[in-house]
Amino acid sequence: MATDTPPDVDTRADVSTSGLDFIRQIVVEERRAGKHDGRVHTRFPPEPNGYLHIGHAKSICLNFGLADEHDGLCNLRMDDTNPTTENVEYVKAIEDDVRWLGFDWDDRFFYASDYFEQLHGFAVQLIKTGKAYVCDLQGKEVSEYRGLWNEPGRNSPYRDRSVDENLDLFTKMRAGEFADGSKTLRAKIDMASPNMNMRDPTIYRIRRVPHYRSGDAWCIYPMYDFTHPLSDALEGITHSLCTLEFEDHRPLYDWFLENCDVPCQPRQIEFARLNLSYTVLSKRKLLELVEQRHVTGWDDPRMPTIVGLRRRGHTAKAIRDFCERIGIAKANSIVSVAQLEDAVRQDLNKRALRVMGVLRPVKVVIENYPEGQVEQVEAINNPEDETMGSREVPFSRELYVERSDFREDPPKKYFRLAPGREVRLRYAYFITCRDVVKDPESGEVVELRCTYDPETRGGYAPDGRKVRGTIHWVSAAHAVEAEVRLYDHLFTKINPEDVGEGGEYTDALNPASLDTLSGCRVEPSLAGAPAGSRYQFERQGYFCVDADSAEGRLVVNRTVTLRDTWAKIEKAQARS
Ligand code: ATP
Ligand code: MG
């Protein structure tokens, strides 16, 4: 599957590697040296046992991005050799997510399970060259024989079986003549190796479990460490990029390539996986969160999955920008989730329509505004981008403003509404608060009686008088009612996986991660907005119409607040 016509080898001496991450430097240097005829061919190899998350996005951006930068290719491969946890729902979701992130594999979509026959052939080859044997040791015995990190293992009593005997037993394993777990095929490497992965690792195990694609065709399944290098080689991969946990597996990766007759010698390079503050990024844990109903599904907007982030209102561009900004390094660290939110803010600032939405409304009645009169005021769609134009927003005698924009006893430096105080209604008029109507029982403010100055249309006074406060509003009769979901981090700890003795990462779940506001009022331009539409609610943050919306029901997610309040909090927490 290697390309027929390799691109020109980049022999320019002036190709600078400074400013490139260590993987990109390696690739430039290898191309310069003419390795792989200058080809760059990478792959993204998810196991279809869950939805992709932001950590996978880092790997996707690296693999597809690197190939792109060198006119190379990147394959999408389902790493699906574990029959118990994989299914097609996940395969479909992975394809959708990679595409949504903006990457394309053309016709290079592969399944490791399609290589079962070829992998079996490689195993037979290893047996024939005396480099693999069938072993009858059982699970516990295998670990006993393996030894400890500081103590060599012992050879299996089955290690010296003849090639013929091994071939015969392996044939019978495949034919289903032995019980699950009763035998394994192992590579014959070195039981005294300081690297535990090299102590005769298992290549095949017996499992009578139907596979979601190959069905009952196989009852023996190849192990990851065997499958991965050989799949890479079969696809003509030049650089096999993976996370640091696999560093100790690299000698084994290379051993399989050296000892099997493969068409290509890929190079494995490890990089630090993404860890994000207040987040877990393990598919097993994300699946638990879904199954234990801590969230509503893989696409819950609090989830770090691509589908969750998308539903929350994140953009593919913001995620790509984030991945570029955090870069590729060799040491593990925790990246602040504030960096991700910042990338979203930067992107949405340029592209989201600005509208007015009142999250916690209180009514304003403008006593000197004619009853029944409605006028349209002009509002700018996005001051960052003139081409986005403007829209008309209806203004009338009864409005809603934010409850927090009125204080009966305004503290110092509070410039919004208060008894006798004049403010600007964004794009409309100056109004002055004349009277406050309260619920006689609860004392809660239910209405603000105001007057407006008809001379201040557009928000400026011809006599030059100034007001300190500008607030947003909606016309009561025209506004659309909405449910708004405000999100906080799903976990209260920077590293939820850092649990004390007997603790569980779920102990750090944030009970206040979702705050649902009903009875919010947004301007009428949002009526019928399709799911996925993104807005900036002025002064409030970025919002995205949720898929739960329906005819006559508007549900909106807050993607991020306008400014980052978390960076400071995280710093303080890190210090304490
Ligand atoms: P998890 O630990 O969440 O189950 P995984 O590594 O088992 O993840 P895979 O589906 O095997 O999940 O991952 C596909 C690719 O994505 C692998 O190459 C893996 O190294 C990479 N990857 C997974 N998680 C991260 C992460 N947090 N940061 C960067 N790359 C990641
Ligand atoms: Mg994996």
Mutate which of 227, 273, 326 for ligand 1 pocket (most atoms within 8 A of beta carbon): 273
Answer yes or no: is pLDDT of 566 > 70: no
Distance 272 CA to ligand 2 centre (A): 14
What mean pLDDT is predicted for residues 500-505?
89
Determine the pLDDT at residue 564.
56
Catalytically active residues, by annotation: 47, 273, 283
Domain at 357-471, CATH homologous superfamily: Ribosomal Protein L25; Chain P (2.40.240.10)
Ligand nearest to the Cα of 245, by number: 1
pLDDT band at 416 (very low <50, low <70, confident <90, very high): very high
Q: What is the residue-averaged pLDDT of the chain?
A: 94
3-state secondary structure 93-150: HHHHHHHHCCCCCCCCEEEHHHHHHHHHHHHHHHHHCCCEEEECCCHHHHHHHHCECC
CA of 46 to the centre of ligand 2 (A): 7
pLDDT band at 83 (very low <50, low <70, confident <90, very high): confident
**The two structure tokens encoding residue 263:** 């068409």
- Give me the pLDDT at residue 574, please: 54
The token pair at 104 is 């394309």
Helix (H, G, I), strand (E, B) or coil at 231: helix
pTM above 0.85, yes or no: yes
Which residues have C-beta under 5 Å from ligand 2, the single-atom ion?
47
Give the H or E element holding residue 170.
helix 163-175
Q: Assess whether pLDDT exceeds 70 at residue 407.
A: yes
CB 247 within 8 A of CB 240: no
What was the pLDDT predicted at 7?
Answer: 45
Q: Is the pLDDT of residue 244 over 90?
A: yes
**What long-range pairs does 192-197 form, CB within 8 A, spacing at least 24?**
192/152, 192/153, 194/149, 195/248, 195/251, 195/252, 196/146, 196/149, 196/248, 197/225, 197/248, 197/249, 197/251, 197/252
Q: Which CATH number fits domain 276-353+483-575: 3.40.140.10, 3.90.1150.10, 2.30.30.240, 2.40.240.10?
A: 2.40.240.10
Q: Which residues make up the CATH 2.40.240.10 domain(s) of the chain?
A: 276-353+483-575, 357-471
Asked if residue 397 lies in contact with residue 373, where contact means CB atoms within 8 angstroms, the answer is: yes
Calculate how far, in angstroms, residue 45's C-alpha sits from the geometric centre of ligand 2: 8
Backbone angles phi, psi at 7, to 5 degrees: -65, 165
Question: According to CATH, where is 3.40.50.620 located in the chain?
Answer: 28-271
Q: How far apart are CA 120 and CA 123, in angstroms?
A: 5
For ligand 1, pick from 80, 243, 305, 306 the residue to mutate: most ligand atoms within 8 Å of CB.
243
Three-state DSSP class for residue 191: coil
Length in residues, the chain: 576
- The residue whose CB lies within 8 Å of the most ligand 1 atoms, and thus the one to mutate among 42, 59, 90, 319, is 59
Range 304-309 average pLDDT: 98
- 164-168, 422-426, 540-544, 568-572: which range is least confident on average? 568-572
Ligand nearest to the CA of 284: 1
Nearest ligand (C-alpha, residue 225): 2
Q: Which two tokens stand for residue 51?
A: 């939805």
User: What are the pLDDT digits (tens) for 511-556?
Assistant: 999 999 999 999 999 999 999 999 999 999 999 999 999 999 999 9
- Residues near ligand 1 (Cβ within 6 A): 45-47, 55-56, 58-59, 79, 242-243, 273-274, 281-284
pLDDT, residue 117, reads 97
Check: CB of residue 525 under 8 Å from CB of residue 391: yes
Q: Are 343 and 325 in contact (CB under 8 A)?
A: yes
Mean pLDDT of 323-342: 96
Token pair, residue 561, equals 């607040």
Query: Which ranges in 209-315 belong to alpha helices (H)?
Result: 224-234, 250-259, 283-291, 306-312
Atom of ligand 1 nearest to the CA of 282: 3
Position 500 scores a pLDDT of: 83
For the cut 50, the answer to whether the pLDDT of residue 270 exceeds it is: yes
C-beta separation of 417 from 433 below 8 A:
yes
Q: How confident is the model at residue 256 (pLDDT cuts 50, 70, 90)?
A: very high
pLDDT at position 443, please?
95
Q: Which of 6-10, 198-202, 438-442, 481-485 has the lowest mean pLDDT?
A: 6-10
Atom of ligand 1 nearest to the CA of 241: 18
Calculate how far, in angstroms, residue 404's C-alpha sits from the geometric centre of ligand 1: 44
The residue whose CA has the least distance to atom 13 of ligand 1 is 46
Q: Which atom of ligand 1 is nearest to the CA of 274?
A: 28
Statement: residue 410 has pLDDT above 60:
yes
Please give the distance, rounded to the nearest whole angstrom, from the Cα atom of residue 242 to the centre of ligand 1.
Answer: 8
- Does the structure show a pLDDT above 70 at 569? no
Q: Which CATH architecture has domain 28-271?
A: 3-Layer(aba) Sandwich (3.40)
Q: What is the pLDDT of residues 2-53, one digit of tens each?
A: 444 444 444 444 456 778 999 999 999 999 999 999 999 999 999 999 999 9
Confidence of residue 568 (pLDDT cuts 50, 70, 90): low
How far apart, in whole angstroms, are the C-alpha atoms of residue 440 and residue 445?
Answer: 9
